[in-house]
Structure 1
């Protein structure tokens, strides 16, 4: 296999305190409750020339499993709403991309298009929207629903939602605003494009009342890996945040999704696949294992069981025998791809309930790497060179230490191998990811009115 010529992408997934479920109990972790904390994290990643920082979000607290939730930092309580936080971080950074999660399940497309369009202009073309569907019943109860919306219905809404947002982002040509003082014309009406969307879930005329940014429109990221999720990504997404445990599974997923692009008239380089990785790195393997074991020792049983209940979509598992096998579960209406991944992992390795929650306590189903800089760089290079990934979203075990360890130890090794940049080569998130400016096909407002 010939060596890939392009460099891999790196993102920093900033989950406050860190990604390990017990990170908040570690003396190595920041409380991460202030803007100053996140300014520090963002600048650390930008100084390392990362492509982007990435923020997750939930819109419900897991009060239905209160015993486990009350012992976790990751219980649905976030220090800030992500778009508000990224707007503040846009003012104290200059190059790094700013990606936030917003669910299509309980939002309106015009509001989402306007918010991300505004962030894109505030940041000079650095924003990205991570499109998700909400998989927690606790969120549904905050938005006039009696329970979790069925998986198929969530994705049907998400498909149409994405189409509306993309159409709204393309409301204006990049040179529509003439601002000609002599003639008195502010914008060219031929370069204004009405959407006039009429669908099952939404009726949206448009246009968006935000001009385009230097990158044309925000980058659309997608996080689903189920069948409908992969199809939505192939049609609309420009990056996928995904999870695979093995090289074989990663290569298969990469080939599957990229192979779907042609039917939508897209090329393989129009979509970047960026799986999450949870790295615990130290100068020696024994030191790395000791760091990981210290975090694992902080996991309370009720927290581990609650974690499994959420990711398996099975509240009853909190009552399971921790020393027994994973009980038979019905198919969830929550995150189907994550349930399937975890059940396959348990089956493949013969894991007990306790074994499984210990395995996912850090990475929550993402790829977990514990070792030296060379060992971790070897595995990242193998997955990249075999077309199992175009880059990686770094899920630091603790913040800021887990992120600074990766940057101090692994990033220089990746650079030595010619796999990661020394300096930014552009100013926008599209520049960093190697994505072209989109060229939408659309009608002018005058044509749409005929």
Structure 2
């Protein structure tokens, strides 16, 4: 079953070159954070370009449940009238976060140091994902969590009545964990400190500073150290959400592997903590250029032009780059099938606990399509077959995972035979216009 209804099988076939402009939706990470911090500010925050995928809509509903006034003005324009730090009210019902690990973990952090109780649930995929990586550090503030075996949803959180400041070194590179701790630290007297051995996406830090919080970031012998001073009065903001680099990855990668293609993807956020895929593709020899580079809302932005690239070579992707492209490894593995040589991806165990076990999901599906894939607990390796070399012809399981579904459909656009996904329904969680957007570029996508 899809996350929100009956399965939607979909098939992609090779066909004409892809041409045109791909205006992908707003950044999902920034959209979540805009709603949550807007709800924690005093006054009205206005947002343009908000991603209106299911994940973000679930976060908007959650903010309403905690007492914020959230209004959809149409066309990606939203407003949030916040209740202030520590102003969340107790929800009347269970908070359903659908498929969104980012949404549930950030919301848990935002409520963790307010003395209220809330119960969280999600779809089958989300309810199978571990929450201990967030609830364990939140317990240091004084928050209590009661969930299913293994720290899984449904789960009830009891916010700390008298929270204490926390100093926490993250055991795994995770922007979700870091952000949950920082959001919890907003309602705590004193300084909350998060230490990362590897820097992760920094949208939360940038946005907290924009809302008026006192936050400092420094590199020390301990690693990447973020210090947040608690109990600020957050000021409402005007936020223009840049377009999502994780969504841009799909039309970009499709253009690189479909013969004769030339696609422009405008206005993409190129925050260095998110742009690892594009760096990797260029190192592989992709014809991928940045045009009209600029800064919008404190975030670096550019237009990306991607052209068919028949001379790409496999590379060893540096493991320290994983945090900046963790969501893009599935589509990178597809591109690797059409390169020459071996693409080696190390230090990626985080992929095992995403919406699905993404290493296993992609390895199984690509093998069914005729690819050569090796894997271990925190690595995988794809042996390329050159332009047009992937046989295809398989039906692949999306496993309720939007990125897995889109990756296999992109593979089908350049494979020798059509590729089908058993359920394309989850794509709406992050990229609701994927099907018409790719169709307008010339892709042959059909619902079965």
TM over 0.5: no
User: Which structure has more RCO (C-alpha within 8 Å, separation ≥ 6)?
Assistant: 1
Structure richer in strand, relative to its length = 2
TM-score interval, smaller chain: under 0.3
Q: TM-score w.r.t. structure 1 length?
A: 0.26
Structure richer in helix, relative to its length = 1
Q: TM-score w.r.t. structure 2 length?
A: 0.26
